[in-house]
Every structure is written in structure tokens, then in C-alpha cells.
Chains A and B, each alone.
Chain A
Amino acid sequence: MPYTPHTEDDVKEMLRRIGAERLEDLWKAVPERIRLKRPLDLPPSLGEAELMRAVKKLAAENTDAGRAACFLGGGTYHHYIPPAIDQLISRAEFYTAYTPYQPEISQGTLQAIFEFQTMVCELTGMGTANASMYDGAEATAEAVLMAERLRPKNQAGAVVLAGALNPLYRMTVNTYLKHCGRPLVTADHDLTGALDLAALKKTATGALCVVVQHPNYFGCLENMEDVAAVCHEAGALLIVVVTEALSLAMLEPPGSFGAAIVAGEGQSLGIPMGYGGPHLGLFACREDDVRKMPGRLAGETVDADGRRGFVLTLATREQHIRRAKATSNICTNQGLLALAATIYLSLMGPRGLAQTAAVNRGRSEYLKQKLQEQGAGRPVFSAPTFNEFALDIGRPPGPVLRAMRQRGWLAGIPLGRDYPALKNAVLITVTEMLARDDLDAYARVLADLLSGNECGQGTDYEW
């Protein structure tokens, strides 16, 4: 039997010690009425080699980003992952350890969390960051819940969500907030692709908070100073969402614009795409608000001999102490991935990160130009972008995207399902994983497909 050491002798001796006759006696307490009276209907046990073979077969059926050039973004990004990260997080001391509730034998994890918290503060320009949330979507929902705790007197104010907030994040906020009795209002973007400030002014009055993604779902940069001014004027808390953490190396951070809370996705920082999970929720707020913050926190202290060490702290906010009155129910979070991000940021350093961000933006701008030169569509929006942009190809993109996939390109995300006005547009993302040759070839192939008649008709989402 896999992974259990018990021999027949072991079982016999242990049963004798317990005073039981058979293993079955140990389940005396389970009433007959609810006993399972047949074996479990599960696939038979596989030997190791057979298991490898079976799962490798499943893996081989998928078109991964090594086999097809990946131009997909929209919240999850294909970036370079330095091999040192995998080797370090594969150390059993890190990945087989539990949550560091016993600090004396968990200083590795705890110090790494403290370093992570510091780095998230530096990236976001905020005073305090926690040890991680599940992902950017849940972090956003929890940010809104924290806003409620920051403004207990504002019982009925709306939650304003930018229309250009990632649609999946919007769904998640909706799920978490639906029963809270607050209106969830959308503040749309204008023709440039950034928030319509006039519309924002109207909805922000009396609102609890405004949730803005920057760069937004279309890759567009928001006019952050103006957005912040509108929020401040309206007395609404500004929550900034960052789904592409790399952008923080190049853009003025949300803290500089007076954000109350930053909710983000850290997957770009040394974490694989993994078909969407696990990812890494980032959560940062102002120092003064720390007691209203969800999630774990590592803090500095000393041991009995005066040596510096780290412990989980301010646990009175959390579920295991405060229970129904906790700031959140979160327990297990994304510890190992917070470590991965900490290692990534240590390996890259400020210059490496800034250079990578510049390469991302530079290549994205290059592709934008190339596509227009080749007659392969036009950017939808005029606002500056970071490493992704919406491209109008003049027709529903499904068949074109399928044709490109068959040629080895994961070419883009159709926008029509979430934004009916953009039914002819795709979201295209460029990272340092795509070389100039890839970009030239992509533009050529897309142009060819758009000018020819190869692609049939079809609905948007079968790509």
C-alpha cells in the first residue's frame, strides 16, 4: 500500500496494545445505517512508472506556452521564471513545512514573509502589506470588505467598480458583496480606454470606495492623479488593483496617489501560469489601518536571549482567535508562492526588474506599430498602455484566433463576451518571452489571415 509503512506484524501488535481485535473495530462509532457497503468506485492503483506515463499523456495533449507562442494576458502573464526559484522552493524545509505557528522552528518561513511584506510595500508604495491572499480577484473583494471596516459610518454608500476592472475580478467582488446590501455601480471607460472622469465624479459622490485597475484590463494606464482627486473630493476610498505586478517597476505606485488599499496579483513575479492557479494575491494598506487588514502578518520581535526573530502577529484580527468577528476567514494562504516572489525580486533587483518592465513595454509598443504597418488591425484605445492592448481586427475574432492557434500562436483573448462593444477586438499581451522575430512573424500571419479568406465564420468564443 503506497506511503503507509505498516506490516502485518505492526498492525497486530498495535491492535493488541489498543485492545481491539480487528481494524474494523476502530470504526465502532460509525453507525451501520451510514456505512459504505461496497468498495469505492475509483480507478485502480497505478505503479509509479504507469502513473508518470498516464499523466504525461494528459500533459502532452495540451498546447503549452513552450509549444505555441503565448500572447495571452488579462490577469495571468507568461514571464521568465529563473530556475533558482524552483530549486529553492523545492527544499523540503520550505515546501513541506506547515504555517509558522511555532516560530522557534519556522524562522526560515517567517523571515521570508517579513521580507516579502517589505518588498510588496516597496512595489506598491504602501505602508503595510500582508503575507498574501489567494489571488488578485479575492484580494480585490477583501479590499472592498476592508473599506467597509474603515468607514463603518458609511452604511449604504455604493461600491464603484471601474468597467475596465478585470471582468473575472468584478464577478468575484460581486459574489463576496452581493448580500451586503450595497449597490455595486460601474464607472465606465471613455473612448481613450481610461476611466471617464465625468462619469466617475457622479458615481463617486457618497460612495464607500472606488476600485480602479491600473494598468486596466485593456492594458491602458489610468489618469491616476485625476482619479485620485475625484475620489478624494468625493470622500470615497481609493482602491487600486494591479494585475500585472511587473508594471510597478515602471509606473508610479498606487501609494503615491493616495490609495487606501492596493489589491494585486503577484503571479508575474516568478510563479508559473499553471492554468490559472495557484496564483498570489497581494494586499497592502496604510500603516494606520493595519488592524483592519485581513490575512497573516509576520512581525519582528526578540527571543528570550534578546536575538531578533519573527512571529505571526496581530492574530486577534484572524479567524482562529476572533472567529465570527475576524477581519476575514482566510487561513491557509499562498505561502510558498510568496516565497517564490521574494526570491524572484531578490534575484532581479531593482534594475533587473525595471529593465524587464521596459522590455515588456518596448516590445508591446513595437508590436502595436508592426500590426498597424502590416494592416493587421488597429489598437482600439488611444491611452498609453503597459504590456497589453486591445486590437480591433474588424470582425469577430474566433475563427482568426483558431486559425492562428493551428499555426502555433496563442494569439489573444477575445473581448466581445465581456464587452459587447468590443466584439471585434482581442486583448494581446507581449512579454520578455517573445522575441522580435516572434512579433514580426505574428504580425505577418495575422495580416495574411485577415486579408485572405481562410478563416470561416463562427461565434466569438470557439478559438
Chain B
Amino acid sequence: MTWDEPLIFERSRKGRPGLRASRPDVEDKLAGTGLPAGLARKNAPRLPEVTERDAVQHFTRLSTWNFGLDHGFYPLGSCTMKYNPKINEALAALPGLRDLHPAQSPESVPGALRLMLELKKMLEEISGMAHVCLQPAAGAQGELTGMLMVRAYHEARGGARKVVLIPDTAHGTNPASSALAGYEVKEIPTAKNGVLEAATVRENLSEDVAALMMTNPNTLGLFETNVAEIADALHEAGALLYCDGANLNAIMGITRPGDMGVDVIQLNLHKTFSTPHGGGGPGAGPVGVCDQLAPFLPAPVLAEADGRPVLQWERPLSIGKVTAYYGHFLIMVRAYAYLLSLGPEGVRRAAALAVLNANYIRACLKDTYHLPHPDRCMHEVVFSDKGLPNGVITMDVAKRLMDYGFHPPTIYFPLVVHGSLMIEPTETESRETLDRFIAALTAIAAEAASDPDAVKGAPCSTPLSRLDEVRAARKPVLRYRFPGDAGE
């Protein structure tokens, strides 16, 4: 079944009744008391007038156009699209967690504080960092928080310094976050073998360098084997090592960023820790720091006093706040439940099987697609479109995968690989799924040779065919125009 569902505004009809809103009581007469005429709304917002039935039908139909993780394989590299356990959803819906106001006295929410404290400790253990702060709302905000603490650390020692070193394989949020924290970014090259060399880092070190931001494993899916030497070099120069923790899924229980010499790291609860992606959030990006950076943590700091969780607001060196309250509590609930479900063996096993799955794909496809680094990978593997015949490119392969019933992998990232296809299967996928995916990619490679139009014209089995992104950007239409509006 397919639907041609219009915009909700196009379903609207004047006078259609919506939800039964609260009935005013005797206080109804007071609603307008003392409201200055100049401040009272003259024209109601043009929200749709639809019945509940229409609204529910509308959004239900919309949902059928989406491919969700629960539908099938979603191998987006560095996104860690692992299964979202349903028990976690049920727990996050408990009224005793959901219906709490953030300004309630801490005495009235001991369970919430305990949950946050326990999660904090588990994340400290897994990351090897001395202190984790749960406040950042997403990975990018965790990066910014980390870099602002780096800045505060240097300022306390006489000067913020100017530059952050970032490898050419870095996720775009890394330079963006550094810039937001007031730093210039200097890109440094990854070596031909796919990892950063300590020598390259040393060459670029100076008193101006505040930090290096690395991802480990990196976005080529390779473990940064020189990380400890790089950390040493940085520390000798008075600089700090920031680690983007997006790829933590590959190393949990095997090695810990804190033990590598990392000074600050952000974690992604909506990647490594199974919380759902929501079509673009909400996520959560807790940040972990070493002891030296602890004074600069955002306020309030969650601590323990007499065995009870407490919120410490008196933090004179704190960088302040990045979100209004304590972070995405209801996302923390899910991550907490996930870690209690796995236990220590489950956490390590998850990492092991994530790496196994990615290597299996690598081994099965290395003779079909070009692999810049054929011999090894961690939890994700990066192919390139080099050598595909008849002008078929990565974009075409990605779109054609939809016709085979798969969500495409991450494409055109990292930038250092030509037409990169970054595949991260995660540990929750079975061998049969991987075999079907491998078969599909193999078939598409064959199609590229024998029937390239099928690939270049893909997708053909989705609700819409390939969308014109150029047109969307050229003359942006970013909202519905009601009949009679200017520009309609």
C-alpha cells in the first residue's frame, strides 16, 4: 500500500474540531484580566484544523514512508545503529522518571539522582576517565563542552593558546566545535597506512597548540595505534588530547581512552549505548575528563556525600552550563538500563562482535569493492568506488541498496577516501543479515558492469525516486505557503 499523503495544512478545514481542550471554569473571566491590548494576539497562528482521527491518520501514513532500524539493516558508519531495546523505552516512560520537574528539590528525587550517579560511574569505568558530566545534549555539544574546558584549563595556566590540531579524517563536528570554542583549526595528514604518526603530531606542535582532537578508532575504521606516543608528545608540549568517542563501540572492555592518555572525551549515548536515533535526536553526549580538567566541569556537578547523590552548584572554575538543566535524563534512563542488561561481560562481548561483524564484511567484499586498507578494520570498514565501471559512483550504489531493502551506509565520509562507503554493521546483526547485505553489494557491483542504468536510476522501489537536492537549495522553500501568502 502506498499513500499520497498531503501536508497537514492541506488536510485542514475551517471549523473542524481538534482535541477537547480543558474547559474553562469560573476563572474563564479572568483569562483576559489586565492583558494590554497591544500584547494580545490579533491573528491566531494558522495551525491545522483537523480531527484527532485525521491527525493520527496523517502521521501514521507519514511513518510508512520511513525506513527505521527496526525494519532492517542500517549500516551507517560511525553512527552505531545497534538495536534499541524495548524494555528501555518502557522504563523511560515510568511516571516516576518522566513526570519530574528539574527544579524539584533534590530531596524529592533521590531515585533520579541515584540513576544519574550510577550511570556516571559506569561511563567512567568504561571510558577510564576520572569524571563524567552528563549535561551535554548530543555528541557535538559534548565536543564543545570538552573544548571549552580545554580552553579554561589553558587560560588558568596563562593563556588559552590558539590552535587545535585535527586529522584529515575527522568528523565535521570536530573542527566546528573547536571553532565555536574560539580556536583555529590546523588539519594534519593521516599517514598512508591510515593512522596518525607521532612524528606528524610532533612536527605540528608548538606553544600555540592547545590540543589535538582524534577519533579512536578513527573514521577509516582503524585503531590509532600510536595514540599513547601521541598523548606523550602532546603532554610534553603542554597540550591536551581530546578523543571523539563516537567509535567507542569497537573497544569497550579492551582498552579505555583514559588509559591511552586521553584528557577529555565525549561519549554518544545514541550510538554506543543503544538509545534510539529518533529521526535526528534526541541523543546525549556526556563528556569525560581527567582530574586536571575536573575544576572546569559544567555545573551542577553530580557527586556523592554520605552515600547520597548531591548536586554541587558551587564550582567557581566551572565553564558554566551548556543546557538549562542536567542533561537528557530520559535518554540516560535508557543507557543505564542498557548497561545493566549487558553487565561487564556483555559490554566486552558487544565490542568483540561489532569488530567481528565488520571484519566479516571486509573479508567477504574485499575482492568486489576497492578497499583503501584491506588487511584490517575495527567495528567499521571503509570501501571506495574506485574502479567501478561505467561511471557508477558511490551515490548510485547507495541508492540501489534501497531497492535491495537496506539502508545505505555512510557515504562520502571520511573525505580522504574517494567515494567512501563507510559500513558499520554493529553487533546486533546476525550472520544471515550480513550475508544478504554482502550478496546485495555483490549484485550491485555486477549490475554496474552489466546494467549500469539500473544502478544510476535507483532507487525505483521507494515512495519517491531520487530527489533534486540542487533545486531545494537554489530556491529554498522552507515552510508551507497558505493560499494568498506572498511567495505562494
Contacts and interface: CB of A to CB of B under 8 A. Distances in A.
Contacts of A248: 41, 45
B111 interface: yes
A277 B330 contact: yes
B40 A172 contact: no
Interface size of A as a range: 35 or more
A213 interface: no
B45 A350 contact: yes
Contact of B22 (A23, A80, A97, A332): A80
Interface string B22-44: 11111111111111101111101
A335 B469 contact: no
A346 interface: yes
Interface string A14-40: 110111100100111111011110011
Interface in A323-381: 323-326, 328-339, 342-343, 345-356, 358-359, 361-363, 365-366, 369
B352 A23 contact: yes
A176 B55 CA distance: 39
B29 A362 contact: yes
Contact of B27 (A15, A51, A64, A436): A436
A92 interface: yes
Interface string B209-242: 0000000000000110101100000000000000
A277 B141 CA distance: 14
Nearest to A138: B323
B467 A359 contact: no
Contact of B346 (A13, A45, A80, A175): A45
Given A275-B325, A276-B325, A300 B477 contact: yes
A316 B478 CA distance: 15
B324 A279 contact: yes
B359 to A, nearest CB: 5
B66 A324 contact: no
B39 A252 contact: yes
Nearest to B252: A40
Nearest to B225: A29
Given A34-B255, A347-B52, A94 B472 contact: no
Contacts, number: 722
A62 B281 contact: no
A137 B324 contact: yes
Interface stretch (A105-113, A155-163, A443-451): A105-113
B279 interface: yes
Contact of A92 (B18, B47, B68, B350): B68
A72 B331 contact: no
A360 B320 CA distance: 33
B98 A274 contact: yes
A6 to B, nearest CB: 5
Interface stretch (B197-205, B337-345, B385-393, B439-447): B337-345
A150 interface: no
A168 B478 contact: no
B340 A335 contact: no
Nearest to B481: A118
Contact of A326 (B70, B176, B402): B176
Contacts of A1: 342, 345-346, 349-350
A301 B282 contact: no
Nearest to B97: A59
B76 A72 contact: no
A410 B324 CA distance: 20
Contacts of B27: 359, 362-363, 365-366, 436
B64 A108 contact: yes
A82 interface: yes
Contact of B46 (A122, A129, A256): A122
Contacts of A45: 340-346
Given A100-B279, A365-B33, A273 B466 contact: no
Interface string A130-152: 01101111100000010000000
21 contacts: A1-B349, A36-B253, A61-B110, A62-B100, A72-B101, A105-B66, A172-B321, A176-B322, A179-B181, A273-B102, A276-B325, A278-B331, A311-B467, A319-B140, A324-B184, A326-B176, A331-B172, A337-B282, A346-B58, A362-B29, A384-B39
